[in-house]
Amino acid sequence: MANIAAQRIKREFKEVIKSEEVAKCAIKLELIDDNYSELKGEIAGPPDTPYEGGNFVLEIKVPETYPFNPPKVKFLTKIWHPNISSVTGAICLDILKDQWAAAMTLRTVLLSLQALMAAAEPDDPQDAVVAKQYKENPEMFNSTARHWTNVYAGGPNKNPDFDQKIQRLTDMGVMSHDARVALSTYNWELERATEAIFT
Amino acid sequence: MDFVSTGGGSLVDNIFLLFNAYDWWVYYSKKEEKNLAKKEREEKMYDQAFEEILFSLDETPIYADSGGDQHNDGRDTNEFGADFETLQGLECLNMEQAKNLLNEHVDQLSSKLHISPSLAKLFLHLNEWNVSAIVTAYSKHTNAFLVDNRVKLAATAALGASAIPSAAACTDILPLSPSSSTSKSSTNASSPISCPVCTHPLPGDHFRSLTCGHSFCQYCWARHFEVQINQGITLDISCMASQCNILVPEALILTLLRPSLHEKYEAFAFRDFVSTHPSLRFCPGPNCSVVMRARESKPKRATCNACGTSFCFQCGIEYHAPTDCVVIKKWLTKCADDSETANYISAHTKDCPKCHICIEKNGGCNHMQCYHCKHEFCWMCLGDWKQHGSEYYECSRYKENPNIGRESAHAQAREALKKYLHYYERWENHAKSLKLESALVDKIKSRIHSKVMTSSGTWIDWQYLIEASTLLAKCRYTLQYTYPYAYYMQSSVSHYYTVISHIIPTGTWIDWQYLIEASTLLAKCRYTLQYTYPYAYYMQSSVSHYYTVISHIIQQYTYPYAYYMESSVSHSRKELFEYQQAQLEAEIENLSWKVERAETTDRGDLENQMDIAEKRRITLLKDFHLSSFSNPTKLDIPPQGGTTVPISTKDSSTASIQSEGEGVRSASMAPLSS
Ligand SMILES: [Zn+2]
Ligand SMILES: [Zn+2]
Ligand SMILES: [Zn+2]
Ligand SMILES: [Zn+2]
Ligand SMILES: [Zn+2]
Ligand SMILES: [Zn+2]
Q: What is the pLDDT of residues B498-549, one digit of tens each?
A: 444 444 344 444 544 444 444 444 344 333 433 333 333 333 333 344 444 4
What is the DSSP secondary structure assignment for residue B377, as one 8-state letter?
E
Interface check A108 vs B, CB under 8 A: yes
Decide if pLDDT at B148 tops 60: yes
- What does the pLDDT read at residue B416? 67
- What does the pLDDT read at residue A165? 94
Best of B159, B198, B261 to mutate (most A CBs within 10 Å, chain A): B198
Nearest to B395 by CA among B378, B372, B408, B375: B378
Out of A175-179, B63-67, B296-300, B379-383, give the one with best mean pLDDT. A175-179
- What does the pLDDT read at residue B136? 94
Nearest to B578 by CA among B422, B382, B361, B468: B422
Decide if pLDDT at B616 tops 90: no
- What does the pLDDT read at residue B361? 57
Measured distance CA(A78)–CA(A148) in Å, rounded:
7
Contact, A68 vs B196, CB < 8 A?
no
Q: Counting beta carbons within 10 angstroms of the beta carbon of residue B309, is it exposed (0 to 12), middle (13 to 18) or buried (19 or more)? A: middle
- What does the pLDDT read at residue B637? 35
Q: What would the mean pLDDT of B569-584 be, rounded to a whole number?
A: 67
Residue A71 falls in which region: left (phi positive, over 0), alpha (psi -120 to 50) or beta: beta
Comparing A21-30, B313-322, B385-394, B620-629, the range with the smallest average pLDDT is B385-394
State the pLDDT confidence band at B49, using cuts at 50, 70 and 90.
Answer: very low
With CB atoms and an 8 Å threshold, state whether B224 touches A68. yes
pLDDT digits (tens, 9 = 90+) for B548-573: 444 444 443 333 333 444 444 445 66
* Domain architecture of chain B: domains with CATH: 11-87+415-673 (no CATH), 91-282 (3.30.40.10), 323-391 (no CATH)
Measured distance CA(B249)–CA(A125) in Å, rounded:
35
Tell me what the pLDDT averaged over chain B comes to: 65
Measured distance CA(B63)–CA(B614) in Å, rounded:
13
B652, HSE (Cβ side, Cα atoms, 13 Å):
14
Decide if pLDDT at B122 tops 90: yes
ipTM value for the complex: 0.86
Decide if pLDDT at B160 tops 50: no
State the pLDDT confidence band at B61, using cuts at 50, 70 and 90.
Answer: very low
C-alpha to C-alpha distances, A194 to A58, A158, A178, B478, B630, nearest whole angstrom:
32, 22, 11, 52, 55
What is the whole-number distance in angstroms between the Cα of residue B475 and the centre of ligand 5? Answer: 29
Q: What would the mean pLDDT of B35-46 be, rounded to a whole number?
A: 46
Measured distance CA(B154)–CA(B192) in Å, rounded:
30
pLDDT digits (tens, 9 = 90+) for B230-255: 888 898 899 999 989 999 999 999 99
- What does the pLDDT read at residue B576? 72
Nearest by CB to B241, from A4, A8, A101: name it. Answer: A101
Interface check B223 vs A, CB under 8 A: yes
Contact, B119 vs B142, CB < 8 A?
no
- What does the pLDDT read at residue B462? 79
Long-range contacts of B602-611 (CB under 8 A, 24+ apart): B603/B464, B606/B464, B606/B468, B607/B71, B607/B464, B607/B468, B608/B68, B608/B69, B608/B71, B610/B71, B610/B467, B610/B468, B610/B471, B611/B68, B611/B69, B611/B71
Decide if pLDDT at B187 tops 80: no
Is the backbone peptide bond immediately before B196 cis, with ω within 30 degrees of 0?
no
Q: Counting beta carbons within 10 angstroms of the beta carbon of residue A94, is it exposed (0 to 12), middle (13 to 18) or buried (19 or more)? A: exposed
Nearest by CB to B240, from A1, A103, A199: name it. Answer: A103
Nearest to A9 by CA among A64, A50, A74: A64
Measured distance CA(B544)–CA(B529) in Å, rounded:
11
Residues of B annotated as part of the active site: 365
Q: Counting beta carbons within 10 angstroms of the beta carbon of residue A128, is it exposed (0 to 12), middle (13 to 18) or buried (19 or more)? A: exposed
- What does the pLDDT read at residue B422? 76
> Which chain A positions have a beta carbon within 8 Å of B223's beta carbon?
1, 4, 65, 68
Other C-beta atoms closer than 10 Å to the C-beta of B414 total 20
Between B74 and A9, the more confident residue is: A9
With CB atoms and an 8 Å threshold, state whether B200 touches A8. no
Domain boundaries, chain A: 3-118, 128-198
- What does the pLDDT read at residue B173? 39
Q: What would the mean pLDDT of B52-75 be, rounded to a whole number?
A: 36
State the pLDDT confidence band at B139, using cuts at 50, 70 and 90.
Answer: very high
Residue type, B389: G
State the pLDDT confidence band at B417, using cuts at 50, 70 and 90.
Answer: low
Cα distance from A131 to chain B (closest Cα, Å)?
16
Helix (H, G, I), strand (E, B), or coil: what is residue B216? strand
> Which chain A positions have a beta carbon within 8 Å of B224's beta carbon?
68, 102
Interface check A111 vs B, CB under 8 A: no
- What does the pLDDT read at residue B495? 40
pLDDT digits (tens, 9 = 90+) for B633-662: 333 333 333 333 333 333 333 333 333 333
With CB atoms and an 8 Å threshold, state whether A69 touches B227. yes
Range A3-118 classified under CATH 3.40.50.10440: no
Report, as ranges of residue numbers, the positions in chain A whose pLDDT lies below 50. none
Task: From the candidates A16, A60, A92, A174, give the one annotated as an active-site residue.
Answer: A92
pLDDT digits (tens, 9 = 90+) for B594-606: 777 766 777 778 7
Measured distance CA(B320)–CA(B328) in Å, rounded:
7
B29, HSE (Cβ side, Cα atoms, 13 Å):
25
- What does the pLDDT read at residue B659? 35
Decide if pLDDT at B96 tops 90: yes
Q: How many CB pairs under 8 A join A and B?
A: 44
- Tell me which H or E stretch contains B525: helix B513-536
Between B170 and B249, the more confident residue is: B249
Nearest to B292 by CA among B272, B314, B321, B264: B314
Q: What would the mean pLDDT of B613-619 be, rounded to a whole number?
A: 79
- What does the pLDDT read at residue B18? 41
Out of A161-165, B159-163, B492-496, B574-578, give the one with best mean pLDDT. A161-165
Nearest to A59 by CA among A85, A84, A90: A90
Residues with Cβ < 8 Å from A103, sequence gap 6 or more?
Answer: A67, B196, B197, B214, B216, B240, B241, B242
